[in-house]
């Protein structure tokens, strides 16, 4: 996994704006847990390939409707979550199936600031005009 410092700052800004953040990953590694802890992300779901189900379950636990969710993913295991969420993103270097399921495709590649691009887009939309 590659983490970009721009991404981390964007995630912190998003959380500070009141957005609940979560990580859902098919892997199960201490590195993901550490990165989430460093960013203050309390909801970390590891070892799940059924990401759409995991996202729906988490949203239900938190009392968040599908219409209030967003998801970013880059490959086939993400497609069900990209479809389930109201707002979905795929990075420029995502697999074609994820791009087809996403509402928006970033200009930046994953690991190269795509998450920051997503955070900035959401923050811009949330800001009062």
Percent of the chain with pLDDT over 90: 89
Pick from 2-11, 16-25, 43-52, 90-99: least confident:
2-11
The reported pTM is 0.92
| 32 Ramachandran zone, left/alpha/beta (phi>0; psi -120 to 50) | alpha
The answer on pLDDT for 21 being more than 70 is: yes
Q: What is the mean pLDDT of residues 79-103?
A: 98
């Amino acid at each position: 996994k590659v983490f970009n410092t721009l991404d981390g700052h964007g995630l912190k800004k998003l959380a500070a704006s009141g957005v609940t953040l979560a990580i859902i990953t098919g892997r199960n590694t201490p590195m993901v847990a550490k990165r989430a802890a460093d960013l203050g992300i309390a909801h970390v779901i590891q070892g799940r390939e059924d990401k759409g189900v995991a996202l729906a379950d988490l949203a239900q636990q938190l009392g968040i409707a599908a219409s209030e969710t967003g998801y970013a993913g880059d490959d086939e295991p993400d497609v069900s979550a990209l479809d389930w969420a109201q707002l979905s993103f795929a990075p420029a270097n995502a697999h074609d199936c994820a791009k087809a399921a996403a509402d928006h495709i970033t200009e930046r590649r994953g690991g190269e600031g795509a998450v920051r691009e997503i955070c900035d887009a959401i923050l811009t939309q949330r800001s009062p005009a």
